A and B are shown apart, each in its own frame.
Chain A
Amino acid sequence: MTRAGGWLVVVAALTLPLWLQSPYHLHVAIMAGIFAVLAMSLNLLLGYTGQLSLGHAAFFGIGAYTSALLTLKLEWSFWPALAAAISLAGAAGFLIGRLALKLRGAYFVLVTISFAGVISLVSINWIELTNGPLGLPGVPAPQLGPWSLRAKTAYYYLVLAAVALSYVVCRRLVRSRFGRALVALRENEPLAESVGVDVTHYLVLAAVVSAGMAGLGGSLYAHYTRFVSPEVFLFTYTVTMVIMVVAGGKGTLAGPLVGAVLFTVLPEALRAAASWQWQMLAYGVLLILLVFFLPRGIVPRLVASFPARR
């Protein structure tokens, strides 16, 4: 993305509620924002360390439940609950990072899937805490000082701020010695170790940041839909994140953003255009075409067509 293009996107995002006033369109924009946070979170692991987490919905769900339970049962206000959601999800990421210390590739994938499975079962069966499959209705909308952020426009800006924060975190990490260590782990682990990169340390750190970011997305989701149920742990969420990252361009900063917007807007657009069966078919065909023609993702393809840019 060129600098001018980047600023254009920022301006468009900031002024979006001015020219997109339909609540439905704002809803799509808010969901795109939440998914952008999730996709950036997954990209940190999948795109930079090269490790695929297929249990990423677990961190999302932990964030959602933590935030919902603290505000509902302990009547915490939104902000400390948000911080707790990020921390607890991050702690879960630490656990997974430590467990998966020596595991790479398929084994790492299996650990993350199992973890999500276990957490999902807990949410269904620990009825006293989570209300089981019925879920937790009535999660309060956030307050900012005297203002409620319940209105869609206000919530949109909250989500936008979260997207911006996540982006800055990713960008700073990736363009530093930290990011180089992550990529070294992806590219050639023995060589990385030979020059003193403590790969497990960096893998654990990446897992913590990634999980915390997913927890942020979860909290935002809970206070937006104002209802949390075990559905937040659905594999579909993880798959959606993976599609967004891979289609947008894994291992790039802009890729997950592009992927998140595209794959939130697209199903909604298809829903308007066709019946359910055709939506799924069109979605599938489009995915195959994307993987076939843009195997490295949309953003790397765009970057390659502007050779002047690095």
Chain B
Amino acid sequence: MLAVHDLAVRFGGVTALESVSFEVAPGSITSVIGPNGAGKTTAFNAITGYLRPTQGRITYDGVSLTGLRPASIARRGIVRTFQKTSVFPALSVEDNVLTGLHLRGTAGFFGVLAGRRRLVAEEHALAAEAAAILEFVGLTQRQREPASALPYGEQRLVELAVALAARPRLLLLDEPGAGMTGAEKIVVGGLIRRVREQGVTVLLVEHDMRMVMGISDTVIVLNGGRVIAAGAPAAIQVHPEVIRAYLGGSAGSA
């Protein structure tokens, strides 16, 4: 489904990613792990068009994504979340999700100006869809509150809801559990599993090993901008290179 081939990203003299190749199988949950600075978020940024790779190919269902802008990549069904909490702060939780439903709407500029009656029906349908998504992530009671007023863990759920609203076929989650309590992480892990059950492929960057090993089909380990291991969680846990990367002794983990 998603194939990354020989990807490299360099910022001036600094190499963030070097010859990274991996594939994400349809319907799977694939995790990318690695020490801080290993290049996980850089890989996400390159895949979703926020960063132009220095070299390499990224294809999705055989079609190249290289050089496309984030919005057109989203239109192809690849939607990401951000490592730092990223919501529309002044908007209500409901409006956050409605904004996420942008691609589901069909109202054009002139249609809106003419005030077509069909658009009222469309707005109702979108509102119903937003309500369903909010129920799915468990934020129904919060829908009228501004997103910025929510506690951190719930803001991350808003972010997930906004991403789901864009109807991803491939969902990239950048540390969805970061800063959450143990209980909240369990909720998020459950949500990710249910998203996958609905046929969405998930690519995940995460530090929480319990979560990663619990929900992933495949784990890819990055260190110093290179893939050092890839495989099933059980194999990764005993992989000597991985243990060395996490327990120190490796270069490039700055």
Give A contacts to B, CB under 8 Å.
169, 172-173, 176-178, 180-181, 183-184, 187-188, 190-199, 205
Contact = CB atoms under 8 A, between A and B. Distances in A.
Interface in B104-162: 105, 107, 109, 112-113, 115, 119, 123, 126, 159, 162
B86 interface: yes
Which 7 A/B pairs are nearest by Cβ-Cβ distance? A196-B74, A187-B88, A193-B70, A177-B105, A195-B166, A196-B103, A176-B112
Contact of A197 (B89, B102, B115): B102
Contacts of A172: 112-113, 115
A188 B80 contact: no
Nearest to A192: B99
Interface of B: 48, 50, 69-72, 74-75, 79-82, 86-91, 95, 98-100, 102-103, 105, 107, 109, 112-113, 115, 119, 123, 126, 159, 162-163, 165-166
A190 B165 contact: no
A177 B72 CA distance: 17
Contacts of B70: 190, 193-194
Nearest to B105: A177
Contacts of A184: 88, 99, 102
A180 B103 contact: no
Chain A CB within 10 Å — which of B86, B95, B100, B159 has the most? B100
Given A190-B86, A195-B74, 9 more contacts: A169-B113, A176-B123, A177-B126, A184-B102, A191-B87, A194-B79, A195-B100, A195-B103, A198-B69
B102 A191 contact: no
A195 B107 contact: no
Contact of B166 (A169, A180, A196, A198): A196
Given A183-B99, A196-B71, A188 B112 contact: no
Contacts of B166: 194-196
Contacts of A177: 102, 105, 107, 112, 126
Contacts of B102: 177, 180-181, 184, 192, 195-197
Nearest to A205: B109
B87 A183 contact: no
B100 A187 contact: no
Given A193-B69, A194-B74, A195-B74, A176 B119 contact: yes
A172 B87 CA distance: 25
Given A177-B107, A183-B99, A194 B115 contact: no
A187 B109 contact: no
B88 A188 contact: yes
Contacts of A192: 88, 99, 102
Contacts of B165: 195
Contacts of A181: 99, 102
Nearest to A199: B71
B106 to A, nearest CB: 8
Interface hub of A172, A181, A196, A197 (most chain B Cβ within 10 A):
A196
A230 to B, nearest CB: 33
A183 B88 CA distance: 9
25 contacts: A173-B112, A176-B107, A176-B112, A177-B102, A177-B107, A177-B112, A178-B109, A181-B99, A181-B102, A187-B89, A188-B87, A188-B88, A190-B86, A191-B88, A193-B69, A194-B70, A194-B80, A195-B74, A195-B79, A195-B163, A196-B75, A197-B99, A197-B102, A198-B71, A199-B71
Max chain A Cβ within 10 angstroms of own Cβ: one of B69, B70, B74, B113:
B70
